[in-house]
Amino acid sequence: MRATDAPHDAPMGTVAEGLSRVLADAPVRQGYLEAQAGVSSLSGWYARAEGRYRPLANLGFFGFSEATARRRMAGMGARWMLGL
């Protein structure tokens, strides 16, 4: 594993637990957008955008996009949470 891959190679169980926690902490009928950009001495430039919206107490939507000097990726999805 390269040092620049570490944040993106988290185990899926860890990612799912973190996503559930973040969506559960968001107030109902609210969301946010976040953007960041910078330069790393290891991997060069990067830019990232992320958004989440929680229309119901147990339903959340999320999306992200990320670009670095080496790769580009994007994703989106919905999360139905039980036991809130």
Q: Which residue has the higher pLDDT, 22 or 2?
A: 22
Write down the residue that tokens 């339903």 correspond to: 59
How far apart are alpha carbons 57 and 32 in whole angstroms? 16
Mean pLDDT of 8-22: 54
Residue-level pLDDT at 10: 46
Instruction: Give residue 64's domain range.
Output: 3-80
Residue-level pLDDT at 77: 92
Percent of the chain whose predicted confidence (pLDDT) is above 70:
64
- HSE-up (13 A, CA, CB side) for residue 69: 9
- Whether residue 34 is predicted with pLDDT greater than 70 in this model: the reply is yes
How far apart are alpha carbons 51 and 46 in whole angstroms? 17
* Number of domain units in the chain: 1
Mean pLDDT of 62-79: 93
Mean pLDDT of 64-77: 93
CATH code of the domain containing 58? 3.30.1300
